[in-house]
């Protein structure tokens, strides 16, 4: 079967929509800074992490397939790489959050920290300079590994052979070793420290698996959109079947981690741990607390049980969209009770920031696919993806 080096042709009208979304996001951010700084910064934090999570989750998805020498994934890999490419933009926007620390994190109030016997011992850890150093170091590490892995993959389209592919495996292994502990610190710093009293040993894993699940959903949505435009004809129902199984499996794993965290905290019944759930069981937040597991586990689990569900792109895309929306509500549940303890709120800044980050995400994905072939045409495992069949 002949495989051509097709690239995505950017449609001018679609470009205008993407630039418009980006401009709307920038305008919303700066208007919010002056009109309602706290709400604007919280909306920025939430939506930044929604899309940064897609990039980080896709990088992990990319890495594990290199380590497993998974040939079936080659047809899908360039889409995974395009989503991964967003980490470069996402890292810059995450660093911007450092300018709004005083509007977001309670530990920036030194007087409050000094008068709380629990928080007093955490003052050194949460010093702004040390905090910024940890965040920048993590983002630099992620960007370095993403750059190297994407560079090797793109270069292989020109050189062929197995030399560049062989470089990916040790690179992927090293990434996992470094990434695992640093991601826990990163998730604790950026999200869990919104409530510096709270303590959970499961939090890093919970955030991580949420990122991976939403990244798989994003990859499915991007593939379906591109296929409607006539691209990625090599991706068949068998490839969608495996992606559907991933979405199904990660939905179960997300629920397992979430329930494990809840049961550990419920059983121990320690004040420094129960504060998180007590704040989210108030009437104004309870419906969101029930909606999140429905969208991230119950619905995907039930809807993806039939074999047909995993092999029908239009159907699978709708399930992936449900998961993606569930991820947004999940981050709301993690972030917003700090700003609005009484209940869920939805402001114009939430809409503007979401559309803005969606624009930047779309820009990164489309730019990557317009500069590189949508299929890695000289990958040594290309024959496996061309003849992939699910029993």
pLDDT digits (tens, 9 = 90+) for 23-56: 999 999 999 999 999 999 999 999 999 999 999 9
Average pLDDT (281-310) is 95
- Measured in residues, the chain has a length of 391
**Cβ neighbours of 232 (radius 10 Å):** 23
- The pLDDT, as a whole number, for residue 272 is 80
Residue 214 confidence class, pLDDT cut points 50, 70, 90: very high
Return the H-helix or E-strand segment holding 22: helix 12-35
Residue 94 confidence class, pLDDT cut points 50, 70, 90: very high
- The pLDDT, as a whole number, for residue 361 is 98
* H and E: helices and strands count for the chain: 17, 0
- The pLDDT, as a whole number, for residue 379 is 87
Find out whether 139 and 55 touch, Cβ atoms under 8 Å.
Answer: no
Roughly what angle, to the nearest 10 degrees, separates helices 128-159 and 163-190? 160
Tokens of 372: 């590189």
Residue 346 confidence class, pLDDT cut points 50, 70, 90: confident
Tokens of 264: 């550990």
The contacts of residue 224 (CB under 8 Å, 6+ apart) are: 313, 314, 316, 317
The Cα–Cα gap between 237 and 316 comes to: 11
The region that residue 267 occupies, defined by phi over 0 for left and psi between -120 and 50 for alpha, beta otherwise, is alpha
Residues 313-330 have pLDDT tens digits of 999 999 999 999 999 999
The Cα–Cα gap between 123 and 112 comes to: 10
Find out whether 167 and 156 touch, Cβ atoms under 8 Å.
Answer: no
Whether 2 has a pLDDT exceeding 60, the answer reads: no
Whether 301 has a pLDDT exceeding 80, the answer reads: yes
In the chain the first and final C-alpha atoms are separated, in Å, by 22
| Among 25, 28, 89, 29, residue whose Cα is nearest residue 55 | 89
The CA-atom distances, in angstroms, between 219 and each of 59, 133, 236, 243, 286 are: 12, 31, 14, 9, 31
Average pLDDT (133-148) is 97
């Amino acid at each position: 079967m002949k495989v051509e080096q097709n690239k995505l042709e950017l449609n001018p009208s679609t470009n205008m929509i993407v630039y418009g979304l980006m401009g709307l996001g920038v305008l919303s951010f700066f208007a919010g800074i002056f009109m309602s700084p706290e709400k604007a910064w919280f909306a920025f934090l939430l939506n930044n992490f929604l899309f940064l999570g897609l990039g980080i989750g896709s990088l992990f998805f990319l890495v594990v397939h290199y380590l497993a020498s998974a040939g079936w994934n080659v047809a899908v890999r360039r889409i995974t790489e395009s989503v991964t490419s967003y980490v470069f933009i996402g890292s810059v926007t995450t660093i911007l959050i450092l300018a709004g620390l005083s509007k977001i994190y309670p530990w920036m109030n030194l007087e409050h920290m000094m008068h709380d016997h629990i928080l007093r011992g955490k003052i050194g850890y949460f010093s702004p300079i040390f905090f910024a150093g940890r965040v920048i170091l993590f983002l630099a590490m992620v960007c370095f590994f993403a750059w190297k892995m994407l560079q090797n993959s793109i270069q292989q389209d020109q050189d062929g052979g197995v030399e560049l592919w062989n470089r990916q495996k040790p690179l992927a292994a090293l990434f996992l070793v470094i990434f695992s502990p640093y991601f826990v610190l990163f998730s604790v710093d950026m999200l869990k420290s919104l409530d510096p009293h709270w303590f959970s040993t499961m939090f890093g894993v919970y955030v991580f698996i949420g990122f991976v699940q939403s990244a798989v959903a994003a990859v499915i949505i991007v593939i379906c959109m591109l296929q409607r435009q006539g691209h990625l004809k090599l991706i068949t129902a068998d490839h969608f079947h495996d992606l559907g199984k991933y979405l199904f499996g990660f939905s179960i794993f997300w629920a397992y981690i979430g329930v494990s965290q809840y049961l550990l905290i419920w059983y121990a019944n320690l004040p420094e741990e129960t504060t998180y759930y007590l704040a989210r069981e108030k009437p104004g937040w309870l419906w969101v607390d029930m909606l999140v597991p429905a969208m991230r586990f119950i619905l995907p689990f039930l809807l993806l049980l039939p074999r047909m569900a995993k092999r029908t792109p239009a159907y699978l895309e709708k399930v992936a969209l449900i998961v993606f929306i569930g991820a947004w509500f999940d981050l709301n549940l993690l972030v917003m009770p700090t700003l609005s303890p009484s209940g869920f709120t939805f402001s114009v800044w939430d809409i503007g920031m979401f559309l803005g980050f969606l624009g930047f995400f779309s820009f990164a994905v489309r730019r990557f696919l317009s500069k590189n072939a949508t299929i890695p045409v000289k990958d040594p495992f290309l024959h496996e993806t061309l003849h992939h069949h699910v029993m």
